[in-house]
Amino acid sequence: MLCFLKGMAFVPFLLVTWSSAAFIISYVVAVLSGHVNPFLPYISDTGTTPPESGIFGFMINFSAFLGAATMYTRYKIVEKQNQTSYFSTPVFNLVSLVLGLVGCIGMGIVANFQELAVPVVHDGGALLAFVCGVVYTLLQSVISYKSCPQWNSLFTCHIRMAISAVSCAAVVPMIACASLISITKLEWNPKEKDYIYHVVSAICEWTVAFGFIFYFLTFIQDFQYHLFRAFC
């Protein structure tokens, strides 16, 4: 049987495939429509103008739902593991869940408030999504180490921490450079003074976004051994 069809593994698998498709489809449609430059647009740039804005909004909203479902399932799995063999305070797991859900709310805000229409609200949602998402991965990586070797392999722990570290390192310059940009726009000229800030922040944004995707990919193996009725 395919690994993503076992147990609850379909939840993170669907999150990873759907979110990847959301980014790629929105990007392709935006580029083919001539709405963004193919070279390093912000993720939000690819979901600002119709028709890609409709695609982006719908798909990111569902990604936020799948993200919340994945995080809650992960929370219940860790809770059950911790009851079987205590390795961490339950509060640690709960804080991780709350931060993750706040990040999902941020995703919903990004999906429903376009950056050119309401930039303050959009940017606030993006900040919530990225910062809370990065902290979530860091906390989950620590939990993974604490539950090793009984519930996780050391290799999986190292992979999760490496992804978390890269995302954490990328989110800081992403925010710093984005805050230095004086105007919100879709098309950039390399000669403009803020262009370098745009390039750096865009690279970091895509890095963090796909960092999340690869991180949730590591949950698939853990979720294979658990069924929905076990959490009821």
* 8-state DSSP, 183: S
Q: Is the pLDDT of residue 4 over 90?
A: no
- Pull the structure tokens for residue 191: 């000669």
Q: How many domains does the chain have?
A: 1
By CB atoms closer than 10 A (0-12, 13-18, 19+), residue 189 is exposed
Structural domain includes residue 230: no
Residue 72: its pLDDT value, please? 96
Structural domain includes residue 232: no
Residue 231: its pLDDT value, please? 53
Structural domain includes residue 100: yes
Structural domain includes residue 231: no
Q: Which H or E run includes 146?
A: helix 119-146
On average, the pLDDT of the chain sits at 92
Task: Kindly report whether the global pTM for this prediction surpasses the value 0.85.
Answer: yes
Structural domain includes residue 183: yes
142 neighbors 221 (Cβ within 8 angstroms) = no
* Domain limits for position 113: 9-218
Residue 13: its pLDDT value, please? 95
Q: Is the pLDDT of residue 149 over 90?
A: no
CA–CA–CA angle 175, 180, 184 (5° rounding): 90
